[in-house]
Structure 1
Amino acid sequence: MTSKSSPSTIRTVAERAGVSVATVSHVLNGTRHVSDALRARVEAAMRDLDFVPSAIARSLKQRQTHTIGMMTPNSSNPYFAEIVQYVEDHGFGAGYHVVLCNSNDDPRRQSAYLQVLAERRIDGLVLVPTGDDATVLAQLDGLRMPVVLLDRPLAGMRFDAVCNDNRAGARLAVQHLVGLGHRRIGCIGDSPATAVSCEREAGWREVLAEAGLADQAPEVQYGHFTAQGGFDAMQRLLQQPQPPTAVFACNDAMAIGALGALAQAGLAAPADVSIVGYDDVDLAHWVHPALTTVAQPKQQMSRLAVDLLIERIERRRHEAQTRALAPSLVVRASSAAPRVAAAAPAL
């Protein structure tokens, strides 16, 4: 057995097995047929010598590492945690390892991690971007690898993107509340505003305008896309002279924070204020009351993002695609008719 100071190489394996260096290389890389007898001798020599093939060297030869990157803006957000799980599961099933990074919604950290991933010679990247569109596009411009944007598309992009129809999803949520008889319907959005939050806010405004309720709506309250952000925004809504009877939160984390603010104020959903979220994270089913929310097809989006990325990696497609999948409304216990409901306007 070799000493630790002299690690085994392909050459020492070849000498031990009594074969050529080329034969060992073919066994390792599967680049040519090797007889069962020779393969057995090479594998026995590798075991005897504690030989571990270099993944980096093999990737340089094959020009592929079978590793993809995945970067999200907030790993503590249950929505992104579920997205990561689906991407990792589908990537692993397709023969790819996944390297995970968290930008923490910081464009500078995102830029640093993009450089790290490029140096690791990953084959491609699934990215939930953070920062303004021009900044992200500039950061991606120098990357020599396929990129698929997930959840947050960019204006004027030339990359594949997978998202859901955020405006349509918000419309489902607010139409549900209007149909229950609510007139003063508040909105809690992300700050600084992401394109996703802006689209959801736009859907909220559209439905209120169509129902003739725009002048009764309180100002949008903004906070970070977190439970704390939703808690703080809900407290501000409750302090208004005419608090809303229903609130659309632009993600489930904020909706759960809003439920906490109601409880602290001695109020409850849906008896005092109805709450509707967006994402349908697993936790939405388990909070009390169970959260009415807009369900994104998270598993389908994640699998599609990985499939599009692998198509790019394997050079089976060159044109950019944007896929916007349809959301759906999941009605649970956090929404109900207000205590005094007027006739619902036609939508």
Structure 2
Amino acid sequence: MTISIREVAARAKVSRATVSRVLNNVDVPISAETRQLVRHVAAEMGYQPNRAARALATGRTQTIALWTSNLRSAYYGEVIYYTHEEIVRHEYELFVSAAGMGPGELVDTNQLASWPVDGVLAVDVPRGKLLGLSNSLIENKAFVNIGAYVLEDADFVQVDFQEKAAEAVLHLAETGCKRIAYLVPDWFEWFEESADARLTGYRLAMAKLGREPEYIVTDSELREAATSALASYAGAHGCPDGLFCYNDELAIGAYPALRELGLSIPDDVAVVGCDGIKDTSYLYPALTTIVQPLEQMCATAWAFLKRRIDDPTVSLQQQILQPRLEIRGSSKR
């Protein structure tokens, strides 16, 4: 049997308006004791909210979209997990979708306008401008972008890899690596346009070492792309004795290629990744990696988004976070 707000109100001995406001998280003066009572009674009676009715009453769907260009990577899976952990505590739901690309490699914002959500968290927006973006709103939806790549004319939480990328390359040199190559996707046009922090850090460190950069280029950021690209490159040019990898996925993909080449990690080739996904600690040897502060990034992003939802006129909210280099067995000599 469906339990109504009227029945919850009668059991709790409060008005229907009070029950509605408590269960819909309306910001009005209601005591903490009354809020706790209403929620307890609603749960005890098995009340299930009608989302459509709630949206009509409050103008909100209690749903957030997480928008990313990559749904296969373990890194983005962890971002989804930590974001979900944050929003469910505030009785929101999460909708996940891949970012579409329109003509000229611009982000397609048409789908944003059609989503029945209160706000959008965009992870590593691929490139270009977002049409209709103003004061971190798109079609009146709150918008926050997060990750290594962000739009600076909107709310953002960015992880800046430049310093730690340079530190990782210098670490490889300190372990005795003479040829330190960057294993990286073939996205150099975008990297140059966006002043990619990992690429910049690699180049700065190589310049400091007085060495020429060396690139092993993959056709994607997936593990299998790294395996084939490294095997082909080593066959044609010999294998570098140090690998700095664009992300952990490519670093993990390098392991089987090096094994097939008869090379040992780290004795023959030292390897460093980026992102700090959980898989890296289960490799043998465990992967040295640049660890992103994902929990902090997602918590801060949610705080920014909730504030933007509650007050669309708030000034731009922007924060830059620093990752850390975690040295493990893959680069210890």
Tell me what 1:202 maps to: 200
Amino acid at match of 1:237: Y
For structure 1, the residue ranges without an aligned partner over 5 or more in a row are: 2-6, 338-347
Distance 1:231 1:100, change over 3 A: farther
In the alignment, residue 326 of structure 2 is paired with which amino acid?
V
| Structure-to-structure mapping, 1:4-15, within 5 angstroms | none
- Secondary structure class of the residue paired with 1:313: helix
AA aligned to 1:198 is D
Tell me which residue corresponds to 1:29: 21
CA contact (8 A) 1:174 1:204 kept: yes
In the alignment, residue 184 of structure 1 is paired with which amino acid?
A: R
CA separation of 1:243/1:91 partners in 2, compared to 1, >3 Å: closer, same or farther? same
**Superposition CA RMSD, Å:** 3.3
Q: Structure 1 residues 266, 106: closer, same or farther in 2, change over 3 A?
A: farther
* Pairwise CA distance, 1:123: 1.9
In 2, Cα distance between the equivalents of 1:224 and 1:293?
19
Q: Aligned to 2:323, which of 301, 319, 327?
A: 327
Q: Which has the larger radius of gyration?
A: 1
Q: CA deviation at 1:280?
A: 0.9
Q: How many residues align?
A: 307
CA contact (8 A) 1:153 1:162 kept: no
Find the partner of 1:301 among 297, 304, 315: 297
CA distance in 1 between partners of 2:119 and 2:304 (Å): 10
Q: Which amino acid aligns with 2:63?
A: T
Deviations 1:65-117 (A, max 9, x none): 33222122223211111111111111112x142323231x6425964642442
Q: Within 2, Cα distance between the matches of 1:304 and 1:66?
A: 18
Contact 2:67 2:97 (C-alpha < 8 Å) held by counterparts: yes
Residue aligning to 1:342: none
Asked whether the 8 Å contact 2:126–2:149 carries over to 1, the reply is no
Distance in 2, matches of 1:68 and 1:289, equals: 39
Corresponding residue for residue 62 of structure 1: 58
Structure 2 contact 148–159 (Cα < 8 Å) conserved: no
- CA drift at 1:139: 6.5
The one-letter code matched in structure 2 to 1:241 is: H
State the TM-score, normalized to the length of structure 2: 0.80
1:250 is displaced (CA, Å) by: 0.7
Q: Tell me which amino acid in the other structure corresponds to 1:165.
A: D
| Aligned partner of residue 28 in structure 1, secondary structure | helix
- 1:175-254 equivalences under 5 Å are 175-193=170-188, 195=191, 198-214=196-212, 217-254=213-250
Note the residue ranges of structure 2 that are not aligned, 5 or more in a row. 23-27
SS in 1 for 2:329: coil
TM-score by length of 1: 0.77
Is 1:138 aligned with 2:136? Answer: no
